[in-house]
Amino acid sequence: MYNCKDSINLLMDYLDGEMAPEEAQHLREHLRGCAPCVDFLRTYRATPGLCKKAMAQRMPQEVADKLTEYLRSKIKSAS
Amino acid sequence: MSDELVPQPEDQQLLARSQAGDMAAFEALVGAHRDRVFGLALRMTRSEADAAEITQDTFMSAYQHLNDFRGDAAFGSWVHRIAANHALMRLRHRKVVQAAEEELKGPEFTERGSLAEYPQQDWSRDAEEKALDAELGQAIQQATDRLPEGYREVFLLKDVEGLSYEQIAELTGDSVPAIKSRLHRARLALREAIDAFYNRDHRVE
């Protein structure tokens, strides 16, 4: 029988669907009887999405203009 | 990310014209993909100047190898991988003050291996909302900055940039199991930081 620590160690493989059927069965058994681990799983699964949102970046217009200028001059001098 | 794995019809047309020497078509391709490339470079290097240079180098490399690109994958994924490679090379040349691995926080367990602290608030639904609380955004950025470099890189490349384990292994030279193990620990540390943010909010109320 898995405890919380075993289960949490296996969460990534579980979410990736890369777990042996027997291990997945043990994990599901633990989750059925452990509400804190179910909450943990939910928040673990939500973490990448939240981080992705927090780290969104756009290129400032000034940098974009410089990029166009750079590529034009480089490509022109190469041709 | 799945939409970026298949070739996009518009990109395909622009690509064909670029390969035939149409500069305006190449500039349109750059315009469509520069935000993503710059974003990756800025997140990885945390320097706007470096990110601007990496973006220039990436599109210049793409231009030079346009005719090697067969178009069986998406142009966006291809330049994204070129950018990741340029960003990693730049980081390897930098002397980074490494955060110690022991500083990676994760959940705490009792002696019997049970979770020591039960999550007080289920914040998983917030991930589905469109807007992100600005303070939470800041807390996440700070937590990402605190990750040891190898963990931060893997987390950014997989969870933010959407590269596969195999693509990351190819870029970094690390094994897939090593990458997975670092990713899991990085996610645990970031989950912990987000959880701390929500619980701090909880106490203030």
Q: How confident is the model over A8-17, as pLDDT tens digits? A: 999 999 999 9
Contact at 8 Å (CB) between A51 and B127? no
Per mean pLDDT, which range of B104-108, B179-183, B198-202 is the poorest? Answer: B198-202
Contact at 8 Å (CB) between A78 and B53? no
| A46-62: average pLDDT | 93
Residues of A in contact with B136 (CB under 8 A): 50, 54
The residue with greater pLDDT, A18 or B117, is A18
DSSP per-residue codes, B42-94: HHHH--HHHHHHHHHHHHHHHHHTGGG--SSS-HHHHHHHHHHHHHHHHHHHS
Closest Cα in chain B, distance from residue A28 (Å): 16
**Is the C-alpha dihedral spanning B87, B136, B179, B6 positive or negative?**
negative
Give the whole-angstrom CA distance, residue B94 versus residue B27: 31
User: Would you say residue B11 has pLDDT above 90?
Assistant: no
H-helix segments, chain A: 4-9, 11-16, 21-33, 35-54, 61-78
Instruction: Tell me if chain B has a CB within 8 Å of the CB of A12.
Output: yes
- Confidence tier at B101 by pLDDT (50, 70, 90): low
Tokens found for residue B73: 């994958």
- Confidence tier at B200 by pLDDT (50, 70, 90): confident
Tokens found for residue B96: 């980074």
Contact at 8 Å (CB) between B106 and B160? no
Contact at 8 Å (CB) between B39 and B80? no
pLDDT at B130: 73
The helix (H) or strand (E) run that includes residue B153 is helix B149-155
Look-up: residue for tokens 């807390």?
B139
Q: ipTM value, please give it.
A: 0.91
Cα-only R_g, chain B? 20
Spatial neighbors of A66 by CB under 8 A, at least 6 apart, are B52
- Confidence tier at B204 by pLDDT (50, 70, 90): very low
| B190-196: average pLDDT | 94
Tokens found for residue B30: 């750059």
Contact at 8 Å (CB) between B38 and B52? yes
pLDDT at B12: 87
Question: Among B165, B175, B81, which residue's Cα sits nearest to residue A18?
Answer: B165
The residue with greater pLDDT, B81 or B130, is B81
Residues of B in contact with A54 (CB under 8 A): 132, 136-138, 140-141
The residue with greater pLDDT, B128 or B61, is B61
Contact at 8 Å (CB) between B11 and B74? yes
Q: Is B109 helix (H, G, I), strand (E, B) or coil?
A: strand
Residues of A in contact with B30 (CB under 8 A): 67-68, 71
Closest chain B residue to A18, measured at CA:
B180
- Please judge whether B127 and A67 are an interchain contact, meaning their C-beta atoms are less than 8 angstroms apart: no
User: Would you say residue B156 has pLDDT above 70?
Assistant: yes
- Confidence tier at B96 by pLDDT (50, 70, 90): low
pLDDT at B192: 94
Residues of A in contact with B140 (CB under 8 A): 50-51, 54-55
Contact at 8 Å (CB) between B118 and B126? no
User: Would you say residue B26 has pLDDT above 50?
Assistant: yes
pTM for the structure as a whole: 0.88
Instruction: Tell me if chain B has a CB within 8 Å of the CB of A1.
Output: no
